[in-house]
Amino acid sequence: MVQGIDTTTASLISLQTRLMQLANNVANVDTPGYKQDVVELNDPAQANQSTYRLVSTSSGLQAEPVGSLGGILLAPDPPGLDLTAGILKPTGSQLDVAIEGAGYFAVQRGDGTYYTRDGSFLRAADGSLVTSDGGLVLGSKGAINLPDGEIKIDEAGNVWVAGNAIDKLRLDDFPAEVVLRKVGFNYLKPDDPNATPVPATGGVYQGFIETSNVDIGKTMVEMMSMMRSYQASQRILQLQNEALAKAVNDVARLA
């Protein structure tokens, strides 16, 4: 009805989606291998929305664009995944591995192959190398089973137990145009089920874990920015509401 209200509502809804992603980023500030969702607001290139005001013209009331309010009103572009590497934290545990550079560990779960940067692996009771939810970590020969003994993993991903070569950790990567999506439990999956992985170029470090790539400082600033945007949008909504009330009650008054 009044374009201004619709526009403001659209921006508030877009803000809500970004807020949800921000809240998830904050909750996962300590999750190993976590890749944050980009929730940037004030991108001038994207802020192409305008505000409107009601003016009375010869053909009746018209909504006239006033101008852009910059980043307050958002373009409906879904934000992407920030694949920046997290800082590697030394843990000293021989079952912890982290990837330096590009690539993902390949894990087999009941319904297919999943990918992860979280290398905090465990050894199951039957000796297989697993993730925290029991997914089998894959090597070049399939699922990796570790015999008893000291485990050594070199930078190429070769796994040695008590001096014997067991397998090589499979490191997969995807070309830039393949969109990856987080699916929970620190796993990622390509949106396109037919996307084929290619061998990765990254190296493996034993005794390290990749921390979350959530930047606390930047996240707090974004949150404050969103809060202000929300306040501004609320205020605009109020003003438009008042303008509409005037238009409905006063302008059309006959007596």
Asked if residue 22 binds another protein (CB under 8 A), the reply is yes
Which residues within the stretch 36-75 sit at the binding site for another protein (CB under 8 A)?
37
Give the separation between CA 79 and CA 146, rounded to whole angstroms.
Answer: 41
Asked if residue 206 binds another protein (CB under 8 A), the reply is no
**Sequence-separated (6 or more) residues with CB below 8 Å from residue 86:** 32, 33, 34, 117, 210, 211, 212, 213
- Cα-Cα end-to-end distance for the chain: 26
Q: Which stretch binds another protein (CB under 8 A): 42-50, 65-73, 168-176, 237-245?
A: 237-245
From candidates 83, 87, 156, 220, binder to another protein by CB under 8 A:
220
Give all strands (DSSP E) within the chain, no chain letters.
51-57, 60-67, 88-90, 97-100, 104-109, 112-116, 122-123, 129-130, 136-139, 142-143, 151-153, 158-161, 164-168, 171-173, 180-184, 187-190, 198-199, 203-206, 208-210
Asked if residue 2 binds another protein (CB under 8 A), the reply is no
> What are the C-alpha distances in Å from 185 to residues 31, 93, 134?
10, 21, 11
Asked if residue 221 binds another protein (CB under 8 A), the reply is no
Min dist. Cβ of residue 238 to another protein (A): 6
Min dist. Cβ of residue 162 to another protein (A): 7
Asked if residue 186 binds another protein (CB under 8 A), the reply is yes
Asked if residue 181 binds another protein (CB under 8 A), the reply is yes
Asked if residue 143 binds another protein (CB under 8 A), the reply is no
Q: Which residues bind another protein (CB under 8 A)?
A: 9-10, 12-14, 16-17, 19-24, 26-32, 34, 37, 76, 78-79, 91-93, 118, 120, 122-127, 132-133, 148-149, 162, 181-186, 216, 219-220, 223-224, 227, 230-231, 234-235, 237-238, 241
